[in-house]
């Protein structure tokens, strides 16, 4: 799947301050570069003939003080605006107590190569898709299950590492409804490039509706093909890695599939979530995303039809 990743199109106060800092530092360093390069060019041209040397003078307190004080002012200024930005963008850490909802709105865990998304207040678990209400600052706790990943939604917030055994925090906020691209920004193995996710910002009322839908557990399908698919899912190893609420599949090694069919992408962005592409994925995940943790089960056509029919009922 192709997608753009706009870096200079902020959609949150945090991303706006990041863009502003970037532009300020770019102008300061661009200005210094222009002055230095200009002086070098001037000297090269003006004194190109060796007989034409400039007056040689040694020691000038005024100039020495100027070239020390000038850079110090610039460096202190850049440090000050950077620290101010870091304090605005980084959420203060909160000790998360299992079962409590104090202060943490979202827990995002990096896995090779997908993102687990948990809403502690509502118990919703999802993967590779984060739904948020607009105009609210959400405290996100970042974790990792294996290696270091980095959580990055350029239009909304800063990059922040997801580190095994250590929790990091960022604010996530969107000013306007929309779909924002997220990336893993730290090389984390073969499929680092396919560790994408989406942040979908809704008006608060729409977010409530989404939450209500997402909290519903799945019910047994009434269609025969889909029922056969469900039985197959539970019988095969699928249910030993994935969870689907309302069923006996409860493992969290692989993405939670409870509302799989309502998501936009498959395999952390590698495919669009359509019945055809889902079939391609199930037929051989290793051909689509080599090295991913889902093996090729060499399913028969009939089994693929059943599994696709079942998974499509998970809305």
Using a 10 angstrom Cβ sphere, with 0-12 exposed, 13-18 middle and 19 or more buried, the burial of residue 222 is: exposed
Smaller CB separation from ligand CUA, 28 or 193: 193
Closest by CA position to 256, among listed 143, 144, 91, 114: 114
- Shortest distance, CB of residue 161 to ligand CUA, whole angstroms? 10
Among 89, 138, 172, 184, indicate the residue that binds ligand CUA (CB under 6 A). Answer: 184
> Residues 33, 42, 187, 253: which binds ligand CUA (CB under 6 A)?
187
Q: Residue 149, interface with ligand CUA (CB under 6 A)?
A: yes
Look-up: residue for tokens 């827990």? 107
Contacts (Cβ under 8 Å, ≥6 apart) of 206:
177
CB of 268 to ligand CUA, least distance (A): 9
142 belongs to the binding site for ligand CUA (CB under 6 A): no
Shortest approach of ligand CUA to residue 110 CB, angstroms?
5
**Piece of 48-56, 188-196, 200-208, 289-297 that binds ligand CUA (CB under 6 A):** 188-196
Which region among 75-83, 184-192, 230-238, 255-263 touches ligand CUA (by CB under 6 A)? Answer: 184-192
Distance of CA 100 to the CA centre of its chain: 25
What's the min distance (Å) between Cβ of 216 and ligand CUA? 30
**Strand order from edge to edge, sheet including 168-172:** 124-127, 114-119, 106-111, 138-144, 168-172
State the burial class of residue 115 (Cβ atoms within 10 Å of its Cβ: 0-12, 13-18, 19+): buried
- CA pair distance 172, 186, nearest whole angstrom: 19
Query: Judged by CB under 6 A, does residue 129 bind ligand CUA?
Result: no
Near ligand CUA in 81-120, by CB under 6 A: 110, 113
For ligand CUA, the binding residue among 124, 142, 188, 307 (CB under 6 A) is 188
195 binds ligand CUA (CB under 6 A): yes
Shortest CB 293 distance to ligand CUA, Å: 13
Using CB under 6 A as the binding rule, whether residue 202 contacts ligand CUA is answered as no
* Site size with ligand CUA, rule: CB under 6 A: 9
Of residues 172 and 184, the one with the C-beta less far from ligand CUA: 184
Q: How far is the CB of 126 from ligand CUA (least distance, A)?
A: 17
- Dist CA 53 CA 60 (whole Å): 19
Q: Which is nearer to ligand CUA, 128 or 258 (CB)?
A: 128
Q: Which stretches of the chain bind ligand CUA, using CB under 6 A?
A: 110, 113, 149, 184, 186-188, 192, 195
């Amino acid at each position: 799947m192709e997608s753009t990743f706009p870096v200079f199109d902020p959609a949150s106060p945090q991303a706006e301050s990041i863009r502003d800092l970037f532009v300020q530092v770019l102008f300061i360093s661009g200005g210094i570069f222009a002055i230095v390069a200009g002086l070098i060019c001037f000297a090269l041209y003006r004194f190109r003939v060796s007989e034409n040397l400039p007056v040689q003078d040694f020691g000038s307190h005024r100039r020495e003080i100027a070239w020390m004080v000038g850079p110090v002012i610039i460096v202190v200024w850049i440090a000050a605006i950077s620290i101010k930005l870091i304090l605005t963008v980084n959420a203060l850490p909160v000790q998360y107590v299992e079962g409590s909802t104090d202060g943490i709105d979202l827990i995002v865990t990096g896995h090779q190569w997908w993102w687990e998304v948990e809403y502690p207040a509502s118990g919703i678990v999802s993967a590779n898709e984060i739904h948020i209400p607009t105009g609210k600052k959400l405290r996100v706790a970042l974790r990792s299950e294996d290696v270091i990943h980095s959580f990055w939604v350029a239009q909304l917030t800063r990059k922040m590492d997801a580190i095994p055994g250590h929790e990091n925090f960022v604010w996530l906020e969107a000013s306007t409804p929309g779909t924002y691209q997220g990336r893993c920004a730290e090389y984390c193995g073969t499929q680092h490039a396919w560790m994408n996710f989406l942040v979908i910002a809704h008006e608060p009322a729409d977010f409530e509706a989404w939450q209500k839908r997402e909290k519903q557990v799945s019910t047994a399908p009434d269609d025969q093909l889909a029922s056969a698919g469900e039985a197959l899912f539970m019988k095969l190893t699928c249910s030993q890695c994935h969870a689907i609420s309302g069923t006996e599949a409860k493992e969290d090694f692989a993405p939670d599939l409870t509302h799989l069919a309502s998501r936009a992408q498959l395999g952390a962005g590698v495919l669009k979530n359509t019945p055809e592409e889902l079939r391609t994925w199930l037929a051989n995940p290793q051909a689509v995303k080599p090295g991913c943790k889902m093996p090729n089960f060499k399913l028969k056509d009939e089994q693929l039809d059943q599994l696709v029919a079942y998974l499509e009922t998970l809305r």
